Structures are given as structure tokens and as C-alpha cells.
Structure 1
């Protein structure tokens, strides 16, 4: 059910992506988790690289992170238990990449089976959600055809249901996220796949950064304002038109996970697009310059609160989880996890305060008042 607006408070609990607490190269996972618990997070979004490094810390090969060996599953249960002992839960594991739309039947079967390899680990972690990012491949071996991609997601949903039916455990869910540099790079293009897949356990993952990176921002704009359109008003109008459609068409229960993050307004005179055609133009900005919500003092400028308000207005009840990549996470230092955990929680609290003040722009006449 849609949320009555404005809400008296935000009921959603807070989460954080493990990489947003520090890169696994320099930071072991347990201290990062302890920093998250100390800062007050309730949910952990487990990144593949962090899980692989955790296995290596326990003397197991990180290259075989999803092989369901007794040792790997034992360590997975230990990690799930550690996180519960800190008062948190694992919300999901991610990311799965280049899964859907593969034309060759043998390659397609192997790709879908990669997803199924995670199911035993989801039980060990005591989590029910895994999600895949929209395919970024552009070669002739893949297609973005709606029926083909929807068929793949439907089959993944059926595989997850069969696994849960067989072991008698809770349902397992498949989430689908549009990346801002993928062929399906908007919430609407990924939603049409989820809708056509027509499975109760297949849903949408919405990432505020990826929404804004396509529908609001242009880090390379020569004027240096970082937007697609010259004025903030026009940029906001276009964004809100899209978000109003999200509220009108996506039931809250079909949004399986919501991630938030801002990004730095960069100087287009010095921050240039990649020259390698194999590197998507938005990738360097995404990987090195994301920020937590409301970090204007660090260059943040995107209206994360508008995306968050729209998502919550659908009736979404899951975690609001930070997903931030930044060069500051790739340096050593004992305080990196604690500093980023604290910064992230500050941003989430500011976001929770800002959301009820957003006018219901998705309703007729709702654009009245400042956004």
C-alpha cells in the first residue's frame, strides 16, 4: 500500500554496503562490521570482494567464494552469526553481473547456474535476497530484448522457488538493478522486465545514485554545474516526472531493496571522460566520487531526498542502505571504517529528516512548495 504523505516518521531501518566502510585490500571485514554496529546500522549489504577476502582471512581460496564446500559454508555461517551478534543482519549479497540476455544456450545455462550457486550461502548467511545488475555487455552475444531478459529473470525466480521448496526454508528472492551505464539503465527499463517476468520472488532494486546519474546528472557538462539541464528547476522537473511515474506504477512490495548515495560535483576542466572506449563514461565518477547523502561540504549536490521520498511513497518497507564507492575507501588507516560509518549514519539521519518535508510531487498539485 502507498504510504500516506507526509509520513510522521520514516519506519525503514538503515543499512550499509560493506565496501562503503573500506576496501577489502586494506581493511579486514570484522573491524568494518564492528564500526557499522557501533554507528547504529541494522543491515549489512555484503559485497562479493569483501566475502572473498573474508574467506582468505580464514585460509580458504577467495577465488572459490561461491563453491558450496563444507568449509566455505561453515565460514558463511560464522560470518552470519558474527553479524547477528553485533545486532545486525545481512540484507543481501551482490553483485551478479552479465547474467541475463545471453544468446548462446550453453553460456546462458552456465550464467543462470552461477546464481543458483549462491542459494546455499544465502541460507548460511540467513539472508533471502541476491541481486543482479543489468547487463553491461554490448557484444553480439547478448540481447536486451524484453521477452528474452524477462524469461531469464522468470527462470531465476523459479530456480530460487524450487530451492526453497526443496529445503523447506523461507522464500528466496531475486532483485534486478539498472546500472547507469548498462543498456537497461533506468528504473523504468528494469521495472518492465520485472513486471513481465511475473514472479512473486522477482523484484526491483532501486539505487538513488544510478537513478540520478541518468535522469539528473552530467558530471562532464562543460558549464560545471553537473546537471543535464542548465537550470536546477528544469532538471528537477524532469526527474520528478519520472519519479511520479515510479510512485504510480511500482507497488512498494515489488521494490526489494533501496540504496542511496550522492556524488561529487567535479570540475569538467580537469575531470575528463575515459579515453578507453571499453570503459563506460560514468564509471570513473561512480567508482571514485560517490558520497553519502547531504555531504554538500564535500561536493555533493544531487537531490537524493527526492528519489528516497518517491521510493518510500510506494509503500516500500525494506532497508534504506548506503552504497558509496569513493577513492577515500581505498586507503589504509585504522580509522577509515569508523569515519565512513559515522559519516554515512549522519547522512541517513539527515535524509530521514528531509523526506517528510518533500511535497507529494507525485500527486496532482503536489509540486507546490519547495523541493
Structure 2
């Protein structure tokens, strides 16, 4: 990987798959200087449905274990995407998200998840990536166990399956801010250390980290009651603990989030009683770094990770209502916004011009004003 910071973006950050083709998004990655992507699974599914050789979509409710046609079409899509990326000179750093894996209470569902995981490993190999991201489960507590031993055992099982491959398949465990039982970076970190397998590490996501301990989109202030105190503690812990096992940080994500004018509760247009408030906020209101309306200490978190010695892929993982719209201009707008953000980020962080990777014409005049820590 070398001692540089590699401009990376999640594929859905440029537009959701229902409206925007992966081919076009990869073209934009090449145009705007993003060297790598996190491949969002919905993009692979969309390619599988669009390929002439692909089989038709299966009826709703079809069991994954019995869906050989689905697997064949997705493997063909993975090969096609691999070839696209070679032509566009874009690396795939991971396939994500492998959701709701750990702690499933229903043993039949767990068994099916293992089968699906083994298939994802095949997909990853076709894509020429060795990394699969596992976000913490946000299934209802009635469906997933919070028992730490169970969570560690399930994740260790995944790691050991990955170790059977040559080269091994790696897994990056990430704490979602709305995870049912694992919702903070240090909870995920301690689990990674307890799993204790060389191919099992973490993705540190500045949005999810700050989105849990700093932001509260359901409150009038947009903050938790102990936002600054908890964030300062987290930053201190990042600096002190990451150097002890830095090889476990497989990659880093950074995005900001909008401060809402109205608390996200009943009556808000994004409110959904069937999902956590932070999830509703995350799906609609992420921003690229330095964009107006953002208020998270994402750059303070990124700085702490870099101070701990991290170098490598720094990825923009954006979910936003703006990316979930049709129109030929949408993906281009997001790519240009991301390019502006990366250039500003590289300058703010003091990374060299060669590390920046994106032409200076996209840099505006706006300077970032960091969070005023007390």
C-alpha cells in the first residue's frame, strides 16, 4: 500500500444502483481521480440483472441456498465488473456490506448465512479483492444475540473460513451507529482483538463513530448530552490503542453529516418507526467532508487515526437522498463534489500533492473550520 493515502469511494456514493450504472460510475472515478472503490453489493446485483447472459430475477422469497441461477448470474457479473475496473484502472478494495451475520438466534438462518458467506468469498475472488466488510447487525434484539461470546464465535468462524483460501479472505468488522448490540468503534475494536485471527480486522468509519457518541439527530441540539467529552475520550483512545495493533485497521471511511433544523422524530419526513433514527438520518443526510451543513468532528477522528500511524485507503462512503435520484447529471455532480472534498481533505491533512491524486482545478476557496473543542 505504501506510505500514502489512496483516494477511495464507495460505489453507491455516486448514485444508487436503481438509477445509475456501475459502468458510468467507474468512468467518473477514473475521470475525477478516485483510484479505488468499495463495491456496494446492490451494484453487483444490478449488473447481474442487466447482463445479457444473466438469468431472470428469482421470485420473492426464494431461498439463497437453492438459488443456483442467482449465484451463476452474480458470478458472471463479478467477472464483468472485474474487467470494467481493469479498463478504468480502478481497484476494488472490498465487497460490502455482508449484513446481519453475527449473533443470529435462529440456527437455520445462521447456517444459511455461512453458505452465503462462502459464496461471497467466491464473488470477492472473481472481483480480485480479498476483503469483505461485515457491519454490526441491526436486526431486532429478538433475532440476534448480544452475548459477546456468541458474537466473537460467529465472527471467528467467518475468519477461519476465510483462512482456508489462498490467499486468505479478510474481513473488516465495522460498528454501525445504530447497531443492536455493537454500536461504537471501541466495542467493535475489542471484538476484533478477541477474535484474534490475522485476516480479521476493522474499518473505522468516522461518520458512524461520531454518529453514535457525538450526534443525536432526534434532539433539538443535534448532539448527545456528553458529545464533546465522549468524542475526546474516543480520540484519545484511538491514538493510544491503534498503534498496538495497527495492522487490524484494514481501511478508513470519512464523511460528515447534516445538522437537522428539526429533530428527526414523528412527523419528520425521514422518520420511519420501523428503523432506528440514526439509520434514517444516515441514509438521507451524509455529506462529503467540508460541505456546508456538516457538523461532525469527522476530521478530528481521521487525524487521530493517522496520528496512530495509519496509511492507506481513505474512503468516502456517502448515503444521501441526493444520490437516490434519477438523472444523468446526478452521478457526475456527486463525483465532482467528492473530488472537491478529497482535494480539500488532502490539503487540510497535509498530504503531499502526489498523495492528493486529484487535479487542483476542483479545489474551491472554502476552508474547513474544525470543531471548537472546549
Normalised-by-shorter TM-score class: 0.7 to 0.9
Structure 1 equivalent of residue 78 of structure 2: 76
> For residues 62 and 125 of structure 1, what CA distance do their matches in structure 2 show?
22
Change (3 A) 1:62 1:336: farther
The aligned residue for residue 26 of structure 1 is 19
Q: Following TM superposition, by how much is the alpha carbon of 1:293 offset from its aligned partner in structure 2, in angstroms?
A: 0.4
- Give ranges in structure 1 of 5+ residues lacking alignment: 1-9, 358-368
For residues 316 and 271 of structure 2, what CA distance do their matches in structure 1 show? 30
Matched residue, 1:354: 348
In the alignment, the residues of structure 2 paired with residue 17 and residue 286 of structure 1 have an alpha-carbon distance, to the nearest angstrom, of 15
Listed one character per residue, the Cα deviations across residues 329-352 of structure 1 (whole Å, up to 9, x for unaligned) are 111221211111111121122222
Q: Which of 323, 326, 330 lines up with 2:320 in the alignment?
A: 326
Residue 259, structure 1, aligned to residue 257, structure 2? no
Write the distance in 1 (CA, Å) between the matches of 2:149 and 2:68.
29
> Using a 3 Å threshold, how does the CA distance of structure 1 residues 113 and 247 change in structure 2: closer, same or farther?
farther
CA distance 1:69–1:109, shift in 2 (3 Å): closer
Matching residue within 37, 40, 53 for 1:44: 37
Equivalent of 1:88, from 86, 90, 110? 90
Question: Are the aligned partners of 1:252 and 1:311 in contact in 2 as well (CA < 8 Å)?
Answer: no
Hey, what does 1:7 align to over in structure 2?
none
**Aligned-residue RMSD, C-alpha:** 2.5
1:292 aligns with 2:288: yes
Uncovered stretches (5+) of structure 2, i.e. residues with no partner: 59-63, 352-370
Change beyond 3 A, Cα 1:192–1:270 = closer
Contact 1:252 1:317 in 2 (8 A): no
Q: Residues of 2 paired with 1:192 and 1:267: CA distance?
A: 36
TM-score, with normalisation over the residues of structure 1?
0.84
> What SS class does the counterpart of residue 94 from structure 2 fall into?
strand
Q: Measure how far apart 1:266 and its partner are.
A: 0.9
1:292-348 deviation per Cα after TM superposition (whole angstroms, max 9, x unaligned): 00102xx11212111111122232233100111111111122121111111112112
Distance 1:110 1:302, change over 3 A: same
Q: How many pairs does the alignment contain?
A: 339
Please report the TM-score for the alignment, with normalisation by the length of structure 2.
0.84
Aligned to 1:361: none
- Counterpart-to-counterpart distance in 1, 2:310 and 2:298: 16
- Tell me which of 171, 187, 190 is aligned to 2:188: 190
Counterparts of 1:261 and 1:25, CA distance in 2? 23
Out of 114, 120, 123, the position equivalent to 1:121 is 123
- Worse-superposed segment, 182-191 or 343-352: 343-352
The equivalent residue for 1:308 is: 302
Equivalent position of 1:11 in the other structure: 4
Counterparts in 2 of 1:228 and 1:67: CA distance versus 1, 3 Å: farther
Which deviates the most, 287-296 or 347-356? 347-356
State the Cα distance separating 1:354 from its structure 2 match: 2.2
